[in-house]
Structure 1
Amino acid sequence: MDELVDILDNQGNPLGVSRMKSEAHREGFFHPTVHVWFYTSDGQVLIQQRGRQKDTYPLLWDVSVAGHIGAGESIEKSAVREVSEEIGLKIRPSDLQKIGVFKSVQKHSESLIDCEFHHTFLCELRVSLEKLKEQESEVESLALLPIIQFREEVLGLGTDKYVPHTKEYYSTIIEALEKTFRANL
């Protein structure tokens, strides 16, 4: 779905202009996104298999919920909206724990260049996997994985089942998940 997104400079600062998401991707304009990683109190992480019709990384496993921040929309409001849309779960902004902003540049083709700043959060999943409702156009499947297994898979050698985020990104996510899990013991 095409939508208006705010355009950022290469440091993540708003430029005061908005463009359609398709134009931002075609021209390689930086824009903001949200990533929400869900975890359970027993040390698991929710991962999402991207829909088979996605333009980028179809059927690869990725962050629990991700999406573009609409023009003029607050980061937290966007995260809450994306969670509701993609997995049918109602959360509040106060449920989100921000862990960082990550700059990402992925050139998929001459006409598809993702230049994004991922505003990244953790959020505790307090319902069973069966209670989640996958958005058909975005999500192929959802799975819970022990954090230790997730660590081994995304930081291990030669795995190609996950979206290729940077090692720094995955390491930061895993450290934050492990720290949160230890704090909840």
Structure 2
Amino acid sequence: MKSSSEKQTNRAKLDSDYMRLWAANQRRVHGFILTLLPYGLDADETLQEVSITAWEKYADVANDIAGSSEAFVKWACAIARFKALDCIRKRSSSGRIVFSDELVEELAILQESQAEYLESRNDALIGCIAKLSERDRNLLRGRYESEMSVKQIATAVGLSVRSVYASLQRIRLSLLRCVEVTLDSGSV
């Protein structure tokens, strides 16, 4: 029989392993949830529920996962699928338009099959954005992070609306080419 201190040490190791895996893979699990739930707040709440449930049950699967990020993500996404279905069922009774269980299952299967590709593409995009000039990154931040209109951006940077549209189009095409080249070269 294990002593109290051995049980505490074992639990502390399990918690540490879980937190390391969760921190490294939370973004992937959240991305999976976002493919199943159309409302951001629902997805955020579901992510929190998945985190708690996964932490509570991690001791049961820790030996099977053995520190593997891929195994952890598959397991956490399985939990997320059930939590998303629960959320959808609750929302459907409130009169909100929601996805059917069958569609959620299809989306989950599709997302799982493309998760690695999408992760590589996202990593390539991050690398490509880092290669942009500061001016171009600021235009992207204004448009996509701050959700400013093109007119607001034009006013803020002292350019015409047409110039900002043209710059954003040029940046998007540049990023598309960069991501494709990065993925084709296998450097992600």
Greater RCO, 1 or 2 (C-alpha within 8 Å, sep 6+): 1
The TM tier, using the shorter chain, reads: under 0.3
Relative to its length, the structure with more strand (as a share) is 1
TM-score normalized with structure 1 length: 0.25
Q: Which has the larger radius of gyration?
A: 2
